[in-house]
Structure 1
């Protein structure tokens, strides 16, 4: 677990580490995943025992990421409630669930794909699907990830609780359909609540872009004539056009890292160009920031589809036949979001979703109620156990 300034605010949160067995040489992604599973399943019972012995409040629940479904077995062995947290959008969860249930073939046989009970999203073009579902070379280093993301549903019906990082009004269709398969609880948006209560006076998504694409983005930003903050990792800076930093210094600031939430919460931010990772998408939605969607892989294409065509809070760039988004397209999309009646419409929609996100997590909101219900049930089980011991 990573210690951040947000976890430090929570005095009751204790951060512990799990050590890996040292290994000489390079591990494949699949082997690394297996070693991680072995290390966690070995260490977790020890940690639970230590905490139970040192605290007056024994552990009663194991909340785990849905990408680690094997932790439900550990919870059962320890006599704990098992709660799975799905960290993708519910729309993406629906796609992976349909793959798991063999209702959607990989790769899809049709150019247009219908996902069960999602008329707002269907039909989807193949390029709107998560990249693992579009089809992947079986020899690819990442081919095991399809089994990984679909495997989230291997014990979907067996977990005691299923949480989803979304809110009901944002993905009503997707939530209702998945809830028809088994009970789920939307508890999002999972971002620090104090950001939703104020405005201040780029997921620094880590997808690496090629030299040509970096250059096209750079010149597109410059041509838009907008002030911009661009997060470019140190290892990527060499891909920027010669003299670009100097030539754009009056309008642009290029940094290797920025506190994304604080930037998005700033009242002067009018547009967020993003690869559409779900955390970044939810943060922008929750803070009312319009988006230019430039998806790369994983769940990003489906999130971009929702941004542009379902929630109408941004536009999606179009790549040319070489797969490159040209500078003219970058400029045009930024201007479309920032200017004119289309820009006004996008800003109105962004403000609407911002208010609905805050309503969901405010006291009595849909997500707040779901978390309160969970806490109350854990408390009830705890007191029943204590009473039975008397």
Structure 2
């Protein structure tokens, strides 16, 4: 019976707004009888205390100080991709000969390299969008040239299907200075690049919260996947 249970590694970007939703998702998986293992960096792992989910470290290359230890955002993201890919593979191998080998990786959509690692081992992969559907819809519009950067107060309000008009203060501040945050913006945009290769895509929302924009965003996402 034990061998029939699935084992899912849930990989999170090491920031509180990303850890929390993925931890709750991992706890939900565990409540359904799956073995769930949350993978995060050594710098953040001590902030997590949960009984029903396993916690395992993977490295971003800056184990002592995390992002603050990196010389730049670009250097951090490149290190996380390189070192994180290697240590995620090592984590999967750690469980390979156990009673419950890993058969799925659910990864924060900001870490699309995890998909390559999952495919390397021939296991399932799923992207998890930690942002709301409204924010994801806005990023999708930017990626497809339907919303032009940099955002300026004089160009407000912004109108997008399924959402009320958005003022300058309603939008992420880094979108007003894309050149200053180019590495971060690239990471945001790249999260959509390989969605069609996933077995599933999960969104951090529910119908009663943002019903119209959720339907429209998922429809746009599906149309873009099939047109690529």
Partners of 2:95 and 2:79 in 1: CA distance: 24
Instruction: Select 2:86's aligned residue among 42, 55, 62.
Output: 42
Q: Does 1:145 align with 2:184?
A: yes
**Structure 1's 168 and 105: CA in aligned 2 closer, same or farther, altered over 3 A?**
same
**Secondary structure of the corresponding residue to residue 208 of structure 2:** coil
Partners of 2:71 and 2:104 in 1: CA distance: 32
Q: Does 1:169 align with 2:208?
A: yes
Partners of 2:149 and 2:140 in 1: CA distance: 13
Structural mapping, 1:38-117, within 5 Å: 38-53=82-97, 55-108=98-151, 110-115=155-160, 117=161
**Secondary structure of the corresponding residue to residue 92 of structure 2:** helix
Partners of 2:109 and 2:202 in 1: CA distance: 9
**Structure 1's 26 and 93: CA in aligned 2 closer, same or farther, altered over 3 A?**
closer
Contact 1:157 1:182 in 2 (8 A): no
**Structure 1's 48 and 131: CA in aligned 2 closer, same or farther, altered over 3 A?**
same
Shift of 1:137: 5.9
**Secondary structure of the corresponding residue to residue 153 of structure 1:** coil
Partners of 2:125 and 2:144 in 1: CA distance: 22
Partners of 2:49 and 2:124 in 1: CA distance: 26
Shift of 1:172: 0.3
**Secondary structure of the corresponding residue to residue 104 of structure 1:** coil
Structural mapping, 1:266-305, within 5 Å: none
Partners of 1:129 and 1:82 in 2: CA distance: 31
**Structure 1's 22 and 132: CA in aligned 2 closer, same or farther, altered over 3 A?**
closer
Shift of 1:66: 1.0
**Secondary structure of the corresponding residue to residue 59 of structure 2:** coil
What does residue 57 of structure 2 align with? Answer: 16
Structural mapping, 1:257-272, within 5 Å: none
Contact 1:63 1:85 in 2 (8 A): yes
Shift of 1:15: 2.1
Shift of 1:182: 4.5
Normalised TM-score (structure 2): 0.67
What does residue 172 of structure 2 align with? Answer: 130
Aligned alpha-carbon RMSD (Å): 2.5
Partners of 2:174 and 2:135 in 1: CA distance: 11
- Of structures 1 and 2, the larger Rg is shown by 1
**Structure 1's 167 and 19: CA in aligned 2 closer, same or farther, altered over 3 A?**
closer
Normalised TM-score (structure 1): 0.41
Structure 1 stretches of 5 or more lacking a match?
A: 184-390
Shift of 1:104: 1.2
**Greater RCO, 1 or 2 (C-alpha within 8 Å, sep 6+):** 2
**Structure 1's 46 and 22: CA in aligned 2 closer, same or farther, altered over 3 A?**
closer
What whole-Å deviation, never above 9, does each CA across 1:93-115 have from its counterpart, x for those lacking one?
10001111221111247332221
Structure 2 stretches of 5 or more lacking a match?
A: 1-39, 223-228
